[in-house]
A and B are shown apart, each in its own frame.
Chain A
Amino acid sequence: VKEPRTHTESELVDYMRSIDVRAPQRLHDSIEQLVADRAAPRGRKSTGADAPARTGTLGRRLAAGMALAAAVAAVLVVAFNNGSHDALTVTQASVLTLRPATAAAPQEDRGSDGTELAAAVDGVRFPYWEDHFGWRSTGSRTDHVGGRTVRTVFYGNDRGQRIGYAIVAGVPAPRVGGGVVAWRNGTAYRLLSVGDLRVVTWLRHGRMCVVTGRGVSGATLLTLASWDDQGATPA
Chain B
Amino acid sequence: MRTLDPQSLPQHVDRLYRAAWALCGSREDAEDLVQETFARVLSRPRVLHGADDAYYLMRVLRNTFLTSRRTASRRPVTVAEVDDVVTPDPRPMGRPEQALEVQELYATIAELPENFRLALVAVDVLGLSYREASRALRVREATLTTRLFRARKQVVARLGAEPADGAPRERSRVGAVTREETGADGVLSSGSSQ
Contact = CB atoms under 8 A, between A and B. Distances in A.
B142 interface: no
A21 B18 CA distance: 7
Contacts of A37: 42
Nearest to A47: B7
Contact of A23 (B13, B124, B159): B13
B81 interface: no
A17 B155 CA distance: 15
B45 A50 contact: yes
A54 B156 contact: no
B1 interface: no
A28 B91 CA distance: 14
A208 interface: no
Interface string B1-22: 0010111011101101110010
B52 interface: no
A49 interface: yes
Interface string B67-99: 000000000000000000000000101000001
A12 B14 CA distance: 20
A219 B156 contact: no
B53 interface: no
A5 B101 contact: yes
A37 B6 CA distance: 10
A90 to B, nearest CB: 22
B119 interface: no
A64 interface: yes
Nearest to A5: B101
Contact of A30 (B27, B35, B99, B120): B35
B156 A27 contact: no
Interface residues of A, number: 47
Contact of B6 (A28, A38, A56): A38
B133 interface: no
B181 interface: no
A31 B5 contact: no
A223 B170 CA distance: 48
A24 interface: yes
B139 interface: no
B130 interface: no
A131 interface: no
26 contacts: A2-B170, A4-B160, A5-B159, A6-B155, A6-B160, A7-B156, A12-B152, A12-B156, A12-B159, A15-B105, A20-B14, A21-B17, A21-B21, A22-B17, A23-B14, A27-B31, A28-B10, A31-B10, A34-B35, A39-B6, A50-B45, A52-B44, A56-B43, A219-B6, A219-B10, A223-B7
Interface of B: 3, 5-7, 9-11, 13-14, 16-18, 21, 27, 31, 34-36, 38-39, 42-45, 91, 93, 99, 101-102, 105, 120, 124-125, 127, 149, 152-153, 155-156, 159-160, 168, 170
